[in-house]
Chains A and B, each alone.
Chain A
């Protein structure tokens, strides 16, 4: 594809997203996928009526983390696309839910993963999609567009 800039082992689709630092990212996403799924499961099973909006959001976040983990682990074009979509949704989600939770406390009587920009999780939910998108961008083929 005529890219004189790159050397050795780099294919036209860009570098693999599921090797090197990418595997650390997969590990972090896997941890969040596990904890968010478990948390949403417990919340919905034991006290759904307390805060349905918050718990449905927890479930949505869990699904996004699971999909992002799968996308990053799978790699290839499809995996990359899944990961880009998930990281973007995550970033928009954490910014939106974070802002709403700060401005209108009553919307979320119980915390979600994304409340207060992920404060309950050491702000990792805020940093993670940024790291994810950065990694996906860095490993992508130099953009023509």
Chain B
């Protein structure tokens, strides 16, 4: 795993989650800032998947391969699904969904590191 990129994703996700929680508290629905944040993190997650695939193609192996691949796929699904759900819900609860989806990402990253390195 690339530590710098993973750390960046974790920090970015936490910042977005904090922002989304704030807008939930302020009774505001999902706006452009949320979507830009989600887009940037998703982009970084795609880069991470590419890096992981390149590493695996060049012979490196995760300790629990099946689980690792599962997390790789899940890491790309969480934010788009969360964004779609958040856009349907045009209320503060849409913001809450963005916060929730953003908080899942650090968990996924931590678990990915565990199953990669053992």
Interface size class of B (residues with CB under 8 A): 10 to 19
Distance to closest chain A CB from B65 (angstroms): 9
Instruction: Indicate with 1 or 0, residue by residue over B76-118, a CB within 8 angstroms of chain A CB atoms.
Output: 0110011001001101011011001100100000000000000
Let me know if B70 and A42 touch, CB within 8 A.
Answer: yes
B101 CB contacts on chain A under 8 angstroms: 27
Give the distance in Å from the alpha carbon of A28 to the alpha carbon of B97 in the complex: 9
Are B77 and A23 in contact, with the CB atoms below 8 A? no
Complex interface: chain A residues within 8 A of B85 (CB):
23, 26-27
Asked if A38 and B70 sit within 8 Å, CB to CB, the answer is yes
Contact (Cβ within 8 A) A20 B89: yes
Contact of B66 with A by CB under 8 A: yes
The 8 Å CB contact of A23, one of B66, B67, B74, B88, is B88
A34 within 8 A of B: yes
- With CB as the reference atom, state the residue of chain B lying closest to A27: B97
Partner of A42, one of B66, B81, B88: B66
Query: B74 and A35: CB pair below 8 A?
Result: yes
A28–B77 CA distance with the chains assembled, in angstroms? 14
CB distance from B51 to the nearest CB of A (A): 22
Chain A residues with a Cβ under 8 A of chain B: 19-21, 23-24, 26-28, 30-31, 34-35, 38-39, 42, 45-46
